[in-house]
Amino acid sequence: MSSRDLILARIRRALTDVPRSETPADVPVDRGYARTHGERTAAERVALLAENLADYRARVHRTDAAGLPGLLARLLADRGARTVLVPAGLPTDWLAKTGSGTGSASGAGAGAEPGSGSGTARRVVDAAERTPRELAAVDSVVTGCAVAIAETGTLVLDGGPDQGRRRVSLVPDHHVCVVRVPEQVVDSVPQALDRLDPARPLTWISGPSATSDIELNRVEGVHGPRTLDVILVAD
Amino acid sequence: MPPRAAFPRAAAAAVGDARLRANLRHATHTIRAKRAAAVAELPDWELLRAAGAAIKDRTLRHLDHYLPRLEEAVTAAGGRVHWAADAAEANRIVVDLVRATGETEVVKVKSMATQEIGLNAALAREGITAYETDLAELIVQLGDDLPSHILVPAIHRNRGEIRDIFARRMGDWGRPAPEGLGDTPAELAEAARLHLREKFLTAKVGVSGANFMVAETGTMVVVESEGNGRMCLTLPETLISVVGVEKVVPTWRDLEVFLQLLPRSSTAERMNPYTSTWTGTTDGDGPHVFHLVLLDNGRTDALADTVGRQALRCIRCSACLNVCPVYERAGGHAYGSAYPGPIGAILTPQLRGTGTPLDASLPYASSLCGACYEVCPVAIDIPEVLVHLRERVVQGGQVTLRGTRTVIKPARGHAAERAALRAAAWAFDHPGVLRAGQRLAARTLRLHPRRLPGPGRAWSDSRALPEVPAESFRDWWLRTRGERDSHEQP
Amino acid sequence: MRVALFVTCVNDTLYPRTGRAVVTLLERLGVEVDFPAAQSCCGQPQYNTGYRHQAEPLVRRYAAAFRGYDYVVTPSGSCAAMVRDNYPRIGARAAAEGRGRELTEAAESAVPKTYELTEFLVDVLRVTDVGAYFPHTVTYHPTCHGLRLLGLRDRPRRLLAAVRGLKLVELPGAEECCGFGGTFAVKNAAVSAAMGADKARHIAATGAETVCTVDNSCRLHIGGTLARRGSPVRPVHLAEILASTEGDIW
């Protein structure tokens, strides 16, 4: 007998108290819990997102489409980023004021090309052949997101064109995530799951990397990005 | 896990360790108030809790329906599913899978299932080094120690001890700790970051567990904080996940319940920093080979017990440990298992049986205060199961062991207790006898010792004995209201 | 309304004063209370130690002893919880073992009429000011079974708050178990004693003269620990405070 058959047989023997006629749907699950915790206008929802992001030590910035390139350039410049990793599908105008050059991450330290805007960070476009070590050599990463959850202060990335591979938002030490508000913001976890496709690999991010492993106190900054900038871009 | 002393002895040793007690007290009290606040934010908590319990019950009562569906969905998404009846088989499967890659090193995400089966030791025997990457697991691994908490395996260590372990041992495993390492949590986390980064960037094989598996879609879910999980789940070429069969949930939608219950119960956060979900493999993103090892190892034995079954609802949040007054004083090691605390006291004797003195002592490692049940996000009535397992220990009876129904004998060492309680029950069922005993006790007041001999010493060493009053309530009533006393039975 | 007192074996033998206080209190409130002598122990020591079958005769005895009464009042949160939570379980298990519905019926007759003292006062008699006088500083330890199994919530506090002369002081870590736990106190003596020591330390820190519980088994443990440590704090059962009046201080 295979272990598969053995385990399934053990399960059936273990469940002799379950009537043969019972189906999974016969076991009641009361879904009377809340879909959202509170009624909010779109503006209130965005405000709550900002509040909860900040509560978990993300740095929150607000701007509009016209202001985005300048803000991004400033954040990267303030950080002193010489290179910035971008997913292949990141809208090109986002970094219009940063640096226009592209190149290999391994050359990151070899002097940045002058950019067309106010920032100087050189753009590094992610590609399948980039090794983890190349990604680790990049200073910052900019991505979009799929959904943001106001009640928990969570960003969800689903690998869409402006987000790229999961490792892109993981390996560099500084992550700038752009959220289009209000349309990408939902109130709650149940609403977020509704919007997401389980077939895609998802990364849910709530603040920078953290640990509670030393004396059960939360401290920020272990293996993931230690700085998380979130830009809420209004229509 | 080596078989160790029964719980009371190990716990007594821990009680005498002042530093351990201070560490545990500080950590568990820190998290208690935070958890309560995080839970209080959700007015529908009790409904979520009931839904969490119901979803798990639905799954468990139809596990033979959901596991094949999960297998089908994982396979369709490009994963490979393996079934392991016990720890040895699971370890063999993982060893073979690692060998097939040609690698001799793996990076690991913290996983209770692989602790339970002793995977690291099994890999080491085959010349494969497993690097634990969770900060607390790293502390345990570097310190040649054992985990003592489900969420925070190094909870028994304070910052000073952690600094010493890092300074002394990191060099043996890879990049040494920075010179002059301090003991602030930030410095310690930075040291772990530098130490492990090299491993992450070069690892070809990752090993993980999973918090949830969705039968409907074949999706795996790992909930974590540090990002070491994301590293292990996305950078290697091959990913092997070892997961208990009870971790399956029916639908994607069901996650809406558990992703609210787990972080608030566990680290007292609205949401943990990182949650990763993946379904099979994805072209160009993450490992291109994914193996899922489904683990029984006693779970179906627990499933066969209609009272004990509820322990399989557990989502490993560790809220019950953090509120348990016994855990706080005994520490995790006294439980002699990967699963300490109240949940361990009901899970371990079901997974391993009650055959050893240690496992038979675990159901008694509780004052039945009920704090664990109160905080459990899936409403496991831990006191109910503890009492049920006590019955199994002292009375024996029919149980399922490794898939086979068998009748076990009462555990040894309970004969005197059984006789005493039987005598008490008999006396209580004969109030005339009880009254005679009370009167005898009252008449012999002066003869009563201040400290008891034998097993009673355990009581009177730290607690004075009450004086037996001269007149029982029963006699007082008879003396003062006797005429109204309607019916005394013999 | 026919009201019976279930005094419990611990109170009958070790704390008869508590039983007398309940009688005094209820009679003062105009309730005629009876003490059926056929009663004994609820069976909790047997049940909680794993000897479910030995508890069964005591379930039958309880049901029989209190047959014909409308209310059974007990000054023990733990024993009330035993009846309410575990009698139905004992019945269900016996039925599952093919031994009929006898114990289930016993449980069904016992459960609805069993009230812990503060429940009876607040929910049935609808009284919180029982006319008591107790000129002492008191701290209250909510016992685990009263707190978590019965859900007594603020009933004992409301009753205490209405007692004239009484000053109630908060007990730090009040909701933590005192470490008694029946046979736990002997089987895991070291942990039990450590829990008791912490409880005693917290009680001492309040500066109260008196520590009050709704369960004398916990009082036995707390009192024994306080006495061994030479503490002057006096443990009492809530009923004894409520029975006290200006003319008759308990």
CB pair distance less than 8 Å for C186 and B326:
no
- C partners (3+ CB pairs within 8 A) are B
Q: What is the pLDDT of residues B341-399, one digit of tens each?
A: 999 999 999 999 999 999 999 999 999 999 999 999 999 999 999 999 999 999 999 99
Which pLDDT does position C209 carry in this prediction? 97
Mean pLDDT, rounded, for A56-83: 96
Kindly list the residues from chain B whose CB atom is less than 8 angstroms away from the CB atom of residue A212: 31, 151-152, 225, 267
CB pair distance less than 8 Å for B306 and A170:
no
Average pLDDT, chain C: 96
HEC states along B267-321?
Answer: CCCCCCCEEEEEECCECCECCCEEEEEEECCCHHHHHCCCCHHHHHHCCCCCHHH
Q: What percent of chain A has pLDDT over 90?
A: 85
Do A81 and A122 touch, CB atoms closer than 8 A?
no
Mean pLDDT, rounded, for B158-171: 96
Q: What is the pLDDT of residues A108-157, one digit of tens each?
A: 443 344 444 456 899 999 999 999 999 999 999 999 999 999 999 999 99
Which pLDDT does position A115 carry in this prediction? 41
Burial status of residue A114 (CB atoms within 10 A of its CB: 0-12, 13-18, 19 or more): exposed
Mean pLDDT, rounded, for A162-182: 97
Kindly list the residues from chain B whose CB atom is less than 8 angstroms away from the CB atom of residue C106: none
Q: What is the pLDDT of residues B183-232, one digit of tens each?
A: 999 999 999 999 999 999 999 999 999 999 999 999 999 999 999 999 99
Which pLDDT does position A213 carry in this prediction? 86
Q: How far apart are CA C5 and CA C114, in angstroms?
A: 10
**pLDDT confidence tier of residue B444, bands split at 50, 70 and 90:** confident
Do A98 and A119 touch, CB atoms closer than 8 A?
yes
Which pLDDT does position C125 carry in this prediction? 98
Do C182 and C47 touch, CB atoms closer than 8 A?
no
Average pLDDT, chain A: 91
Which residues of chain B from 405 to 434 reach within 8 Å of chain A, CB to CB?
405
Computed on alpha carbons and rounded to an integer, the radius of gyration of chain C in Å comes to 18
Which pLDDT does position B366 carry in this prediction? 98
Q: How far apart are CA C86 and CA C98, in angstroms?
A: 18
Q: What is the pLDDT of residues A17-53, one digit of tens each?
A: 999 999 999 999 999 999 999 999 999 999 999 999 9
Q: Is A208 helix (H, G, I), strand (E, B) or coil?
A: coil
CB pair distance less than 8 Å for A27 and B139:
no
Which pLDDT does position B440 carry in this prediction? 81
Q: Higher pLDDT residue, C92 or B446? A: C92
A206 Cα distance to chain centroid: 8
> HSE-up of C55 (CA within 13 Å, CB side)?
27
Q: Which residues contact A76 (CB under 8 A, 6 or more apart)?
A: A84, A98, A119, A121, A139, A140, A142, A176
Taking CA atoms, B319 is separated from A193, B24, B39, B299, C91, in Å, by 25, 14, 11, 21, 32
Do C72 and C6 touch, CB atoms closer than 8 A?
yes
Kindly list the residues from chain B whose CB atom is less than 8 angstroms away from the CB atom of residue A33: 44, 47-48, 51, 257
Residue A169 has pLDDT above 50, yes or no: yes
How close, in Å, is residue B26 to chain A by CA atoms? 7
**pLDDT confidence tier of residue A103, bands split at 50, 70 and 90:** very low
Q: How far apart are CA B220 and CA B53, in angstroms?
A: 20
- Which member of A22, A154, A217 has the closest CB to residue B185? A217
CB pair distance less than 8 Å for C148 and B11:
no
Residue B143 has pLDDT above 60, yes or no: yes
Mean pLDDT, rounded, for A193-220: 91
Do C38 and C80 touch, CB atoms closer than 8 A?
no
Judged by a CB distance cut-off of 8 A, whether residue B236 touches chain A is no
Which pLDDT does position A100 carry in this prediction? 57
Q: What is the pLDDT of residues C169-209, one digit of tens each?
A: 999 999 999 999 999 999 999 999 999 999 999 999 999 99
Q: Cα-flanking dihedrals φ and ψ of residue B44, to 5°?
A: -95, 20
Which pLDDT does position A101 carry in this prediction? 52
Mean pLDDT, rounded, for C214-228: 96
Do A185 and A179 touch, CB atoms closer than 8 A?
yes
Q: How far apart are CA B290 and CA B97, in angstroms?
A: 10
How close, in Å, is residue B36 to chain A by CA atoms? 15
Which pLDDT does position A105 carry in this prediction? 44
Residue B448 has pLDDT above 80, yes or no: no
Q: What percent of chain C has pLDDT over 70?
A: 100
Q: How far apart are CA B234 and CA B251, in angstroms?
A: 24
Both tokens of B489, joined, read 């039975």
Q: Cα-flanking dihedrals φ and ψ of residue A24, to 5°?
A: -55, -40
Q: How far apart are CA B240 and CA B187, in angstroms?
A: 31
Residue B419 has pLDDT above 90, yes or no: no
Mean pLDDT, rounded, for B307-322: 98
**pLDDT confidence tier of residue C49, bands split at 50, 70 and 90:** very high
Strand A83-86 with A147-149, pairing: unpaired
Both tokens of C92, joined, read 């269900």
How close, in Å, is residue A193 to chain B by CA atoms? 7
Nearest CA in chain B to A26: B58
Which pLDDT does position A118 carry in this prediction? 55
Burial status of residue C92 (CB atoms within 10 A of its CB: 0-12, 13-18, 19 or more): middle
Q: How far apart are CA C36 and CA B486, in angstroms?
A: 7
Residue B263 DSSP code = H
- Which member of C37, C61, C144 has the closest CB to residue B474? C37
Judged by a CB distance cut-off of 8 A, whether residue B159 touches chain A is yes
Both tokens of C157, joined, read 């506090």
